Structure 1
Amino acid sequence: MVEIRRAVACAECGLYWDGGSEPPRCRNGNHEHRVFEVHRHLDPVVLPGGTRLTAASFDQAAPYVRARVPDYGLYLDPRWQPPWDHGHICWPDFGLPTDADALTRTLRAVLERARSGQDVEMGCLGGHGRTGTALSCLAALSGHPAREAVAWVRSGYCAKAVETPEQEAFVAALFSS
């Protein structure tokens, strides 16, 4: 079952709010506010080569309710503060990670955890931009051609994955050498 909500985001401020129940958090009339249909992700993803992990979006109503608690979580948004073992990557929404080398090292470690049989979860806020970009990077690290990794994630995980052209180019550039 897919739960869909209407969310509003201000890319300039980095603020978000529920478009159906909250007043705007950004009151600057010069800022562009984007309206999104948000659907909740808590989806299994099987990477090229068979490694499994779970991709998640942050559900404010019940962010840590799971049928099974993961062994480890990597989160790309600071709102995630789960009670299980986890790490964070500094990565602005709609943007790129602040340290590409740290991202690559962290994703390699996450991939090793998942390959060793640990139940690994990864997520950002909506489960699309940062999560989709990181999944594309994991696909490339798993042997899928980097230039095709975004298309692979969009077809196998979510058509809305990887939100900006910069995020798409990041994946190809990071693994082109």
Structure 2
Amino acid sequence: MAEEREVAETWDPAGDGVLALPSGRTVRGRGLRRPLPDGPEPQFAVYLLGKEPPPVPWEARWLPWPDFRLPKDRALARELFTEAWRRSAVERVEFACGGGRGRTGTALACLAVVDGVPAAEAVAYVRRHYDRHAVETPWQRRYVRAFASQGHGTG
């Protein structure tokens, strides 16, 4: 069972694209148009794309999400963000879209909310600790606030 794995299997907080959450959990964000970073592969990934991604050798889920827009299935988004947060305690979890900023940044901001970051600070947190251009559109910022208002914190 995943919960019994040692935490040593998570990302190095200093790794390329790695976001360290306040709880100590780490997740990696990246753009799929760039080469896979050096180092270990993800153990679980969530791909945020308008079309189904190609197969990968690790466990992955696809969240249909057109570029510059919002997830098509918000219930599935909540489910995947919660699963990714849970698994990030003991596994290398990755979020990725085409460029690694808008959709990925929005998903990471939602993950920060799940981790306990106040909604009003989640986008700034991801911009400070992941990519200063993360969460590209006003509706993506509103989505993070709406996600938070639905009671998705851990506390």
Residue equivalent to 2:109:
136
How many Å apart are 1:175 and its aligned residue?
1.3
Matches within 5 A, 1:116-127: 117-127=90-100
Q: Which residue of 1 aligns with 2:8?
A: none
**Alignment CA distance shift 1:174-1:45 (3 Å):** same
| CA positional deviation for 1:42 | 4.3
| 1:93-127 alpha-carbon deviations (Å, 9 max, x no partner) | 10000111110111100111111x11111110100
Residue number in structure 2 paired with 1:83: 57
Which runs of no fewer than 5 residues in structure 1 stay unpaired? Answer: 1-40
Q: Distance in 2 between matches of 1:42 and 1:80?
A: 22
Structure 1 residues 73 and 56 mapped into 2: Cα distance closer, same or farther (>3 Å)? same
The structure richer in helix per residue is 2
Paired residues of 1:42 and 1:57 also in contact (CA < 8 A): no
TM-score of the aligned structures, taking structure 1 as reference length: 0.70
Instruction: Name segments (4+ residues, structure 1) moved above 4 Å.
Output: none
Q: How many pairs were matched up?
A: 134
- Structure having the higher Rg: 1
Q: Which runs of 5+ in 2 are unaligned?
A: 1-14, 151-155
Report how far residue 80 of structure 1 moved.
4.9
Name whichever structure is richer in strand by fraction: 1
Q: Sequence identity of aligned pairs in percent? A: 37
Give the TM-score, by structure 2 length: 0.80
**SS of the counterpart of 1:92?**
coil
User: Over residues 3-56 of structure 1, what are the superposed CA-to-partner deviations in whole Å (9 max), with x where a residue is unaligned?
Assistant: xxxxxxxxxxxxxxxxxxxxxxxxxxxxxxxxxxxxxx9411111211111111
Q: Find the counterpart in structure 2 of residue 74 from structure 1.
A: 46
Q: Which has the higher contact order (CA 8 A, sep 6+)?
A: 2
C-alpha RMSD over aligned residues: 1.7
Written as runs of structure 1 = structure 2, the 5 A alignment for 1:2-17 is none
- Aligned residues of 1:58 and 1:80 also touching (Cα < 8 A): no
Q: How far apart are 1:82 and its partner, in Å?
A: 2.0
2:24 aligned residue: 50
Preserved CA contact (<8 Å) 1:57 1:126: yes
